[in-house]
Structure 1
């Protein structure tokens, strides 16, 4: 899996998820349960991961959707 986004914004993660679903790209949002451990302070970011072999395609989709500033290098 390749990390494309690290964020706490549920709307951003929802939009990215929807774009990947529409493109048929497998993804997962890691570290969603970490808020239980940290006390819901929002200090630990969630990681948006896509399948490695379609990582470049997923990155292009997110850029085309105007989310370039949210992408990890």
Structure 2
């Protein structure tokens, strides 16, 4: 019983010290980092809100690339 309490308190202490997850806008601005985190999440070595944010950042970066390619098709250059 006491061993479990110590383990729970240790985990709570570690969780309190973990850094704030990076935002989706951060990952959109850093697509290489977003891809690394998203791959780690898919592999199960990374978890939490940062996974959601990395996936959103990857999707936003891909959307921006597609829009830029679309616009380029209409340019007169």
> Fold-level match, TM-score > 0.5?
no
TM-score (structure 1 length as normaliser):
0.31
User: Which structure shows the bigger proportion of residues in helix conformation?
Assistant: 2
User: Of the two, which has the highest radius of gyration?
Assistant: 2
Question: 1 or 2 for the larger relative contact order (CA 8 Å, sep ≥6)?
Answer: 1
TM-score (structure 2 length as normaliser):
0.30
